[in-house]
Amino acid sequence: MSFPLDPSSYQWSQQSPFLWRRRALASESMWIPRPKELHEMFIRGTISLEPSLPSSTLKSAVRNAWRKLRFEFPELVAKGQYQDGKPFMQCQIPKDEDEINEWIYRTAFFDQGLNDLGFEGQRENHFLRKQAFDLETASLLLYLELDTDEDSVSRFHLMLNMDHEATDGIGTRILFGKYLSLLAKVLSGSPGVGQGEIEWAESSRNLSPPWISIMDEEQVTSGPEYDEMAQMNKTLLLENMAQNPGLPLLTPPSPPSQQTHFITLSTTQTTTLLASIKTISPAANITSLAHAALVLAVLRSTPPPLPPTFSSSCWLNGRSYLRPTTQIPQPVKEYIQCCMSFAPIIFPDLSSLLPAKDASKNEIKHKLKKACLVATSEYTKIRERKSILPEIVVLLEAIGEAMSTAKMQNPTTPAQRPTTAAPLESSERTTLAADRQMQLLLSDGKAEQYIAHSYPHPSSSPPLFTVEEVNFAANADTELIVRMSSWRNRTTISGEWNTRDYERAYIDRFLAEVVGTMLAIVD
pLDDT digits (tens, 9 = 90+) for 440-464: 899 999 999 999 999 998 876 889 9
Q: What is the pLDDT of residue 243?
A: 86
Judge if the upstream peptide bond of residue 191 is cis by omega within 30 degrees of 0: no
Kindly state whether residue 189 falls inside one of the protein's structural domains.
Answer: yes
pLDDT tens digits, residue range 461-472?
889 999 999 999
Count the neighbouring beta carbons within 10 Å of the beta carbon of residue 8.
7
Q: What is the pLDDT of residue 521?
A: 97
Kindly state whether residue 444 falls inside one of the protein's structural domains.
Answer: no
For range 297-312, the mean pLDDT: 90
Total of domains in the chain: 1
Domain range holding 19? 7-212
Kindly state whether residue 280 falls inside one of the protein's structural domains.
Answer: no
Per-residue confidence band for 3, with pLDDT thresholds at 50, 70 and 90: low
Kindly state whether residue 241 falls inside one of the protein's structural domains.
Answer: no
Average model confidence (pLDDT) for the chain?
91
pLDDT tens digits, residue range 181-216?
999 999 998 766 555 678 999 999 999 999 999 999
Q: What is the largest CA-CA distance in the chain?
A: 70
For range 73-92, the mean pLDDT: 94
Q: What is the pLDDT of residue 418?
A: 37
Kindly state whether residue 495 falls inside one of the protein's structural domains.
Answer: no
Kindly state whether residue 345 falls inside one of the protein's structural domains.
Answer: no
pLDDT tens digits, residue range 9-61?
999 999 999 999 999 999 999 999 999 999 999 999 999 998 999 999 999 99
Per-residue confidence band for 415, with pLDDT thresholds at 50, 70 and 90: very low
pLDDT tens digits, residue range 358-413?
899 999 999 999 999 999 999 999 999 999 999 999 999 999 999 999 888 877 65
Of 213-227, 434-448, 498-512, least confident by mean pLDDT is: 434-448
Which CATH number goes with the domain that contains 142?
Answer: 3.30.559.10
Q: What is the pLDDT of residue 61?
A: 97
SS3 47: strand
The set of residues, in sequence order, having a beta carbon less than 8 Å from that of 336 and lying 6+ positions away, is: 73, 75, 76, 166, 167, 171, 174, 175, 208
Q: Which helix (H) or strand (E) holds 382?
A: helix 361-384
Kindly state whether residue 161 falls inside one of the protein's structural domains.
Answer: yes
Kindly state whether residue 259 falls inside one of the protein's structural domains.
Answer: no
